[in-house]
Every structure is written in C-alpha cells, then in structure tokens.
Amino acid sequence: MNDLAARALTIHRLLIGHYGDRPWRPRLDPLSELVVTILSQNTNDVNRDRAWQRLQERFGRADWRKVMAAPTDELVEAIRPGGLAQTKAPRIQEALRTILAECGELSLDFLRQMPVEEAKAWLMRLKGVGPKTAAIVLLFSLGQPAFPVDTHVHRVSRRLGLIPPNSSRQKAHHLLEELLPPETYYSFHLNLIAHGREVCHPRVPRCGICVLQRCCDYCRDMRSSH
C-alpha cells in the first residue's frame, strides 16, 4: 500500500468516527434509480424529491411504459420542480425507449450479471448518463463497486490531496476507485458528501473544527501561508 492509499484509509476511518459507518442498503430498483439520478442533475435534493414525487403521482409508481408513452410536454410539467425539465424529460423517455428496444423489457436488472465496467459502459451509452449517474445506479441500487463523484466529493477529495488539484470530475471517478478498496466506496462516498455539506464548504471551509486537519493538504497550505 502506498502512502496516499494509506492516507485515504486513515481519512475513511476518521470520517466513520465522526459521521458513523454506512452499511450498504439498496434504495430503489436500478431503473428507478436511473430516473431519480437524471432528475437530480443540476439541482438539489429537495427539488429532485419534489420532481420524483410528482412524476409518481402523475404516472403511477414505476409505471415506465406510461412515462415513456406520455406526451413529452406532460412529463415536462410533472418534473418541472426538478429544474431543466425541458432537457430531462426527453432524456428520460429516450432512455426508456432504448432500454425497452435493447432488453425487451423496462428493467435494468440485467446489469446485476455484468462486470461492473461493462455495466458502467452500457449505462453511459444512454444520452445524459455520464460517469456519476452510472456509478450511482451501480453503487446504490446494485451494491457494485463504482464510486460516484459529485461536487462535494470532488471538492473535498481535491482539498485533501487524494486527487490532483486539476483533476476533472470525470477523471476523479477513476482515480478514487483505484485509490480505495471497493468495500469502502459506499460509506466513504456518503461521508465525504456529509463532510462537504457540514464542514468543507465551497467558499469558507470550517477548518478549525475539521476532524481531517492532519490529513488535509488544503489545511496545511493555509497554515503555512499565515
């Protein structure tokens, strides 16, 4: 194990000590997770949940044939609280059509049988599905070893020095998956998000109360500059 991997495990343990361990539990079936994740793009959790609730109220819970066949304007109106509905509605319908055409049913359960990299590549062929969306479906629905990188994970991992400062979010998925043991992905991902929301804020991080001070490049650099 190299020094950076050892530091990542130390950070993982410190985050568990502060925020608790997060044993994996499935949230939704993979197709529902895909739709929710598309709804979550470029918005917050509150607006995503409002859009998801309205979609279910209008079309029924996981009635994907009805969603697929609906006039696009009707779907746009249902998911409007999530923002960018004019983009997200056709993406959802196009994804559903592709899945039905290629799989013969509106289900992503077949991903369970695929190696994770193949499953990730399959999902990313769908329009509007990038590395983060694919990783969320695989990790949260199927418990597969994929590491999603959102804005909090990207910011915090760069400040900690786990990935280079100029790493893109797309590149960060691969770097963090290589750095950490797969069994840590779920808890580490969720705890980095919690830390980004509560302590490692975008503009003014609360370094004085941070449990990761001794592991953090950003904190070290700030101290040396004063």
Q: Which domain holds residue 206?
A: 3-23+148-224
Same structural domain, 93 and 159: no
User: What tens digit of pLDDT does each residue of 118-135 get?
Assistant: 999 999 999 999 999 999
Domain boundary among 110, 142, 174: 142
How confident is the model at residue 1, as a pLDDT? Answer: 72
Indicate if 152 and 138 belong to the same structural domain.
no
The amino acid that residue 220 corresponds to is R
The reply to whether 194 and 106 lie within a common domain is no
Instruction: Specify whether the CB–CB gap between 75 and 89 falls below 8 A.
Output: yes
Give the single-character DSSP code of 137.
I
Tell me: do 90 and 176 sit in the same domain. no
Domain boundary among 89, 115, 142: 142
pLDDT band (50, 70, 90) for residue 217: very high
Same domain, 17 and 78: no
Residues 122 and 219 in one domain: no
pLDDT band at 226 (very low <50, low <70, confident <90, very high): low
What lies within 8 Å, CB to CB, of 49 at 6+ separation is none
Residue 202 DSSP one-character state: S
Total number of domains in the chain: 2
Catalytic residue among 88, 120, 127, 132: 132
Residues 129 and 156 in one domain: no
Taking the CB of residue 55, how many other CB atoms lie within 10 A of it?
A: 24
Last residue of a domain, one of 142, 160, 176: 142
Is position 127 annotated as part of the catalytic site? no
Q: How many CB atoms lie within 10 A of CB 88?
A: 24
The CATH number that applies at residue 12 is 1.10.1670.10
Residues 89 and 156 in one domain: no
pLDDT of residue 193: 97
Residue 58 pLDDT exceeds 90 = yes
